[in-house]
């Protein structure tokens, strides 16, 4: 017997999981939110900023599919959807909109756009970025939020789900919100914070070695005045940045100094900083050379990892973003059944101009750029007659080879069956031997 379970029946089985806080405990007496960690942890800011800048650099284009082999790119004048992304609002450029989107996803694994409509508008006329810390999904549906509560300094406002575009990552315990990758870096970031605190204390102490003083038991008893004077002089020499800092202390009555601190070399300071950046890069699936870790980098493997970056690292991000836009924003516009969005990834994967020129000439078998097109690439004005394609004398369509092909073999026959270049017989030479009476023929 077949049976059907609706989404509503499944939703009635459970309610949404409690929302986790956007904070991370780094020590017994310190808890920071994700935004503070992004501001204070160089490794996190480097990798998240790297993702955001490289994704925002790719233009988001819109196309109308004509058939399986033809498509038309839509501009702001062709459809309101590309017009919206060309100017998301009066104070945000397309680059800033995508950059903020990826930054929010990298920090919180959640990002929100609010759709802004006019009084009589049929579709959104602007998109506004909302701070993920101020947005709370509401409702008992464990699959999707029913409403979103926006909190601000002056109050709160509740928006229906169809007025918000919600980008989110995966969360095994809550299907409505993602879980930040910063949570996976908890231990590494706590170690980095502890090491930074130790370095700050070291420099506050004038970067001088810590230790303790010993005084022989047979030394005469110290008076309070003598003890305070020695302590004051020692602190002037070994702490702070006063006029006596860095001087040579004078120990009295057989006193000794025993160092107890760990030096930066012993603490492997540089290795620890590099480890933090490597772990942050691994958490966001970024090749280490892309974020400045060049220990094993060569010219060839950096070129390959650059391709890997846009194919394997940024590729899933691009697919996720365009699919969420198609799911949550396209229904607000008319005539979008044959429209799709695509990031201009081809611009980043193309080779150099020399490589492209050689490949295109090989493909078409002839020159492929006019003089005015070439002048436009270097910002020079057009010239008269520059729109004609110049074809060299040694290139004819059909009967003559292209510049990238070899010349025909001499033994090839023409259409009439005659030899185009008949071979020339080699002359026979008679060679006379240097010995009298003996001749040789070659």
Using a CB cutoff of 8 Å and minimum separation of 24, what contacts does 269-277 make? 269/195, 269/199, 272/191, 272/192, 272/195, 273/192, 275/188, 276/41, 276/42, 276/43, 276/188, 276/189, 276/191, 276/192, 277/42, 277/43, 277/46, 277/47
For 439, what's the count of Cα atoms within 13 Å in the CB-facing half-sphere?
Answer: 5
Distance in angstroms (rounded) separating the CA atoms of residues 276 and 122: 49
Residue 9's SS3 state is: helix
**pLDDT at res. 435:** 47
Provide DSSP, 183-216. Answer: GGGHHHHHHHHHHHHHHHHHHHTTTPPPEEEE--
**pLDDT at res. 432:** 46
**pLDDT at res. 157:** 93
Q: Secondary structure of the chain: what % helix, strand, coil (to 5)?
A: 40, 20, 45
pLDDT of the chain along its 442 residues, tens only?
A: 455 556 666 666 666 666 667 888 887 778 888 999 999 888 899 999 999 999 999 889 999 998 877 889 999 999 999 999 999 999 999 999 999 999 999 999 999 999 998 877 788 999 999 999 999 998 888 888 889 999 988 899 999 999 999 999 998 888 888 999 998 888 888 887 777 776 666 666 655 566 777 878 777 787 888 778 887 777 776 665 555 555 666 777 777 777 766 555 555 566 767 778 888 888 898 888 888 777 766 766 777 777 777 778 888 999 999 999 999 999 999 888 999 999 987 766 665 666 667 777 777 777 778 888 888 878 888 898 888 877 776 666 555 555 555 555 555 545 445 544 555 555 554 444 444 444 444 3
Token reading at 194 = 């502890």
**pLDDT at res. 313:** 85
Distance in angstroms (rounded) separating the CA atoms of residues 124 and 84: 8
Distance in angstroms (rounded) separating the CA atoms of residues 201 and 420: 89
Residue 167's SS3 state is: strand
User: Nearest 5°: phi and psi at 261?
Assistant: -85, 165
Provide the Cα torsion 137, 139, 141, 147; round to 10°.
-60
**pLDDT at res. 291:** 80
The owner of tokens 């892309």 is 290
């Amino acid at each position: 017997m077949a049976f059907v379970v609706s989404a509503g029946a499944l939703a009635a089985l459970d309610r949404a999981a409690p929302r986790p806080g956007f904070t991370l405990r780094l020590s017994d007496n310190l808890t920071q939110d994700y935004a503070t960690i992004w501001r204070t942890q160089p490794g996190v800011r480097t990798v998240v900023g790297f993702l955001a800048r490289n994704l925002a650099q790719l233009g988001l284009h819109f196309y109308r599919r004509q058939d399986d082999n033809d498509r038309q790119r839509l501009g702001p004048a062709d459809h309101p959807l590309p017009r919206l992304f060309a100017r998301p609002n009066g104070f945000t450029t397309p680059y800033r909109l995508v950059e903020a989107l990826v930054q929010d996803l990298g920090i919180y694994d959640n990002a929100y756009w609010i759709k802004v409509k006019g009084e009589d508008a049929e579709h959104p006329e602007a998109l506004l970025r909302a701070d993920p810390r101020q947005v709370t999904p509401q409702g008992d549906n464990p699959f999707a939020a029913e409403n979103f509560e926006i909190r601000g300094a002056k109050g709160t406002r509740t928006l229906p789900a169809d007025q918000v575009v919600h980008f989110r990552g995966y969360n095994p315990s809550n299907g409505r919100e993602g879980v930040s990758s910063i949570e996976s870096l908890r231990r590494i970031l706590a170690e980095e914070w502890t090491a930074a605190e130790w370095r700050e204390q070291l420099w506050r102490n004038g970067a001088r070695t810590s230790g303790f003083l010993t005084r022989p038991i047979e030394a005469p008893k110290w008076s309070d005045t003598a003890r305070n004077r020695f302590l004051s002089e020692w602190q002037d020499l070994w702490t702070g940045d006063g006029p006596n800092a860095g001087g040579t202390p004078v120990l009295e009555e057989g006193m000794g100094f025993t160092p107890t601190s760990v030096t930066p070399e012993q603490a492997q300071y540089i290795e620890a900083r590099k480890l933090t950046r490597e772990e942050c890069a691994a958490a966001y699936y970024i090749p280490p050379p892309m974020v400045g870790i060049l220990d094993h980098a060569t010219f060839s493997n950096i070129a390959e990892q650059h391709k890997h970056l846009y194919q394997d690292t940024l590729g899933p991000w691009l697919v996720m973003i365009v699919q969420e836009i198609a799911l949550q924003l396209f229904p607000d516009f008319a005539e979008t059944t044959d429209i799709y969005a695509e990031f201009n990834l081809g611009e980043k994967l193309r080779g150099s101009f020399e490589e492209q020129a050689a490949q295109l000439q090989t493909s078409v078998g002839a020159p492929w750029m006019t003089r005015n097109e070439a002048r436009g690439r270097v910002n020079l004005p057009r010239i008269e007659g520059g729109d004609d394609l110049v074809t060299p004398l040694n290139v004819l369509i059909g009967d003559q080879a292209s510049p990238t092909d070899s010349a025909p073999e001499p033994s090839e026959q023409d259409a009439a069956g005659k030899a185009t270049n008949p071979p020339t017989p080699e002359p026979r030479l008679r060679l006379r031997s240097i010995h009298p009476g003996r001749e040789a023929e070659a």
